[in-house]
Structure 1
Amino acid sequence: MTTDAPERRAPSPARVATIAALPVALVAGVVAFWGLGGFPSGPSSAVVPAEAPQLDPSPAAMCRALVSRLPEELGGLHRRQVTAGGEQNAAFGDPAILLSCGGAAPAIPPDAQFLGLSDVCWFTQEQSRQTVWHSVDRQVPLRVVVPKDADGSWLVNLSPAIVATIPTAPAGESHC
């Protein structure tokens, strides 16, 4: 009795080469895509929205000095890119803590309470999902937006760079 089973043929050399090359090409493509920035490195890789008002030369120079002095990591939060004004804005973590340097000084409400933290004087404005901290004793206004679930301790981490680069306002203009 004979069986009519189909004959098994060896795969062609072209097919073997294709099967071997496909995973190598796939891995090389993924590595190249990742190396060119195609894959985000985590949840905090998105660019943080920021405004960048035009600054006069002196405030612009102070803001550049401040931003260049800020660390790449702030208390375990990695620095992130901003949409505008990388020379006057910096962001850390996810959700982002956003420091903005320069621009118009905020109107200080009559009932504002001032808080001195590590040689910088601030007042806060509570909003639904964030707290906005405004410096009130510096020659250049600073604004730090902190997510509601974070506390003001992040300002203490920013203070050394602020104190080193943004001089205090003339006497009488501080509230602390």
Structure 2
Amino acid sequence: MDEITSSPAPDETPRRDRSTRSAALWATLVAVPVTAAVAGFTFAKFSPDEPAATPSASPTAVRPQSTAPVEMPAPALAERPATVCRALMSQLPASVRDLNQRPVTAGAEQNAAYGDPALTVACGGIPPLKVCPAPAATSTDQPTDGCLPATGDVWRVNGVCWHPVEEADGAVLTTVDREVPVRVRLPKAYEQPLQWVAPISDTIVATVPSAKTAPSGCSS
């Protein structure tokens, strides 16, 4: 007996094609936000564990900047700090965000300056802030007698622990987890001081060894 094969109705194939295309379109529309959500989760998961003040992208506006040398003191350094500071200065970036590096009046092997008004970087010649004994740690969060309470105000930026102090004309940030202290002074014109020390932190990590002790907040 001959096998009889039924043929599809004339309009069946076009209908199936339309249904297939419609299903694919819906699948694509659903997949796009799901993919975006997964990508966002992955970025957050693998981002460095840094404070909310982690530096953002450099501003696009170009500041007018002087190229005149910036006046800075250059205290005498012992051999070891001098060697470490020379390594730091030789590796500092040519600019910090939109601030170009400027010459200094003294101690180019231990001092650097950027922009106008000048953001300055001083290495060595700074008494290190040691961690205070336990009883003093509960009394205040500010340095006392040259020591910093274990619970003092410290912030990690790109692997470096900074202690910030607000002054009338700006802010001063000092490293508290490095063998040789590094101090950055920022004029009041530069808001959110922690955002400005990211590229400096990167160079410090590469050139200045860690100290043997640091405030407990530096390990978080």
Please give the TM-score of this superposition, normalised by the length of structure 2.
0.57
Name structure 1 gaps, 5 residues minimum. 1-41
Q: Cα RMSD (Å) of the superposition?
A: 1.7
Q: 2: CA distance between counterparts of 1:43 and 1:118? A: 27
Task: Spell out, residue by residue over 1:124-163, the C-alpha distance to the aligned partner (whole angstroms, 9 max, x if none).
Answer: 1111111000100000011000112312211112111100
Q: What is the aligned-residue identity percentage? A: 43
Q: 1:153 maps to what in 2?
A: 195
Q: 1:105 maps to what in 2?
A: 128
Q: 2: CA distance between counterparts of 1:54 and 1:112? A: 29
Task: Spell out, residue by residue over 1:68-115, the C-alpha distance to the aligned partner (whole angstroms, 9 max, x if none).
Answer: 001222212110011111000100011111000001225245484111
Match of 1:119 among 131, 138, 159: 159
Match of 1:130 among 164, 170, 195: 170
Q: 2: CA distance between counterparts of 1:117 and 1:126? A: 17
Match of 2:179 among 116, 139, 153: 139
Instruction: Classify the secondary structure of the residue corresponding to 1:86.
Output: coil
Q: 2: CA distance between counterparts of 1:116 and 1:131? A: 16
Q: 1: CA distance between counterparts of 2:168 and 2:152? A: 18
Q: 2:47 maps to what in 1?
A: none
Q: Which moved more, 1:72-81 or 1:83-92?
A: 72-81
Match of 2:214 among 146, 167, 173: 173
Instruction: Classify the secondary structure of the residue corresponding to 1:105.
Output: coil
Q: 1:164 maps to what in 2?
A: 206
Instruction: Classify the secondary structure of the residue corresponding to 1:99.
Output: strand
Q: 1: CA distance between counterparts of 2:186 and 2:164? A: 10
Name structure 2 gaps, 5 residues minimum. 1-63, 130-145
Figure out how many residues of one structure are paired with residues of the other and give that number.
134
Instruction: Classify the secondary structure of the residue corresponding to 1:133.
Output: strand
Instruction: Classify the secondary structure of the residue corresponding to 1:44.
Output: coil
Please give the TM-score of this superposition, normalised by the length of structure 1.
0.71
